[in-house]
Structure 1
Amino acid sequence: MSRYFVMEGSKFKGRPLTTLPVVLNRDLSRIINSNLQLKTQKSSHNLEHLKSIAQQRDEWTKLTARIREAAEASQSEH
């Protein structure tokens, strides 16, 4: 995961691939006041933090609720 966002080689033409890391990073970036992003120098630290949250059902539920609320808010703006 820590190497996923490192640009290697030339860009390809066409629609960008929709992959789990891309979707996860997009969802995390929607949360206001959150430092959890995968496209940073601390990506591996954030990934480990996400793994620990995922292992705690209550914390994971809170995180996914925050992501859902942020996504709904951004959709209502458009």
Structure 2
Amino acid sequence: MSGYFVTEGNKFKGRPLTTLPVVLNRDLSRIINSNLQLKSSHDLEHLRSIIAQQRDEWTKLTARIREAAEASQSEH
């Protein structure tokens, strides 16, 4: 996961790859009024160390992600 944020090396040309950080960021962006985004390794560490270790907060976050995903699927 942390290797995803390294900007060194050749950039991939073509269709963007679907990776775990991409999916997580997309899920987090679906939540209304959420300031959680995965734009750096610091954001990932915040999610992992602060939120994931607080069981109640993690449960609330995953419920909000699920509700947002279900709402977006019902729109299509």
TM-score of the alignment, normalized to the shorter chain, above 0.5: yes
Q: Which deviations, in whole Å up to 9, do the C-alpha atoms of 1:14-38 show, x marking residues without a partner?
A: 5432211111111101111111111
Moved over 6 A (4+): none
CA contact (8 A) 2:5 2:41 kept: no
Partner of 1:50: 47
**Whole-angstrom CA distance in 1 between matches of 2:4 and 2:11:** 14
The structural deviation recorded for 1:61 is: 0.7
**Whole-angstrom CA distance in 1 between matches of 2:18 and 2:58:** 23
The structural deviation recorded for 1:44 is: 3.7
CA contact (8 A) 2:30 2:69 kept: yes
The structural deviation recorded for 1:51 is: 1.3
**Whole-angstrom CA distance in 2 between matches of 1:12 and 1:43:** 19
Larger relative helix fraction: 2
Q: Percent identity?
A: 93
Compute the RMSD of aligned alpha carbons.
2.5
Question: Residues 6 and 32 of structure 1: is their aligned pair in 2 closer, same or farther, counting only changes over 3 Å?
Answer: farther
Question: Residues 10 and 49 of structure 1: is their aligned pair in 2 closer, same or farther, counting only changes over 3 Å?
Answer: closer
Question: Residues 11 and 44 of structure 1: is their aligned pair in 2 closer, same or farther, counting only changes over 3 Å?
Answer: closer
Count of aligned pairs between the two proteins = 75
Unaligned runs of 5+ in 1: none
Taking structure 2 as the reference length, what is the TM-score of the superposition?
0.73
